[in-house]
Amino acid sequence: MRKPKPYDYSDPRPPSRSQKKRDSHALQDLGGKLAALPDTALARLPLTPRLAEAIADFKGMTKHEARRRQLQFIGALMREIDSDPLARAVTDMEAGDRESAREFQAVEAWRDALVAGDESELEDMLAPVPEEERGELRSRIRTLARNARAEAEKNKPQRSGRALFRLLRDLRRGEAAPGDEAGDEASPPPGA
């Protein structure tokens, strides 16, 4: 099945009924994506007051039919405004979400490898850190990994694992420095 061509609005003929439906469904889909965004992200978008209120109402609805009709209303409201900036903003936010998910997974993989005892990438992780700070940071990472391994073996809360994750995340962002984390998390777990 071929993808339909977008309507050429420079054509003097009016759009077909099918094209109007495709445009309407596209605006409803965009409205659904807008409604899925958190309120903080919506506050940054150029929404009209009526559209912002309609999206807030949609978020409060639980019945399927009510939500479907509200999406139709949101689509109708979006026909009255230029939806291109909103579509670009939603696309940018989705791309940012995918990037942060990849970042999270990479840091998680680092942490899991260190807790398992694999230090093959440790020097690569420490490459952006100044030479004089690497020794202390390497020691903290090893201590946190050892403590996280001990906590996992004893089925205790993963305090050291979370501290190691935060340290590696900051290191990946270029924000980590020796002494950033609380000192009690780098100490051995009680009873170890």
Domain co-membership, 109 together with 180:
yes
Domain co-membership, 77 together with 49:
yes
Instruction: Kindly report the CATH number assigned to the domain that includes residue 149.
Output: 1.10.60.30
| Number of domains within the chain | 2
Domain co-membership, 128 together with 169:
yes
Whole-number pLDDT of residue 187: 45
Name the pTM for this structure: 0.51
Percent helix, percent strand, percent coil in the chain, to nearest 5: 70, 0, 30
Domain co-membership, 120 together with 178:
yes
With respect to residue 141, please indicate whether it lies within any of the assigned structural domains.
yes
Q: Are 69 and 117 in contact (CB under 8 A)?
A: no
How do residues 107-130 score in pLDDT, each as one tens digit?
888 888 888 888 888 787 887 888
Domain co-membership, 105 together with 77:
no
Four-CA torsion 51, 57, 60, 62, nearest 10 degrees: -100
How do residues 84-93 score in pLDDT, each as one tens digit?
888 888 888 8
Domain co-membership, 111 together with 144:
yes
For 133, the domain range is 99-186
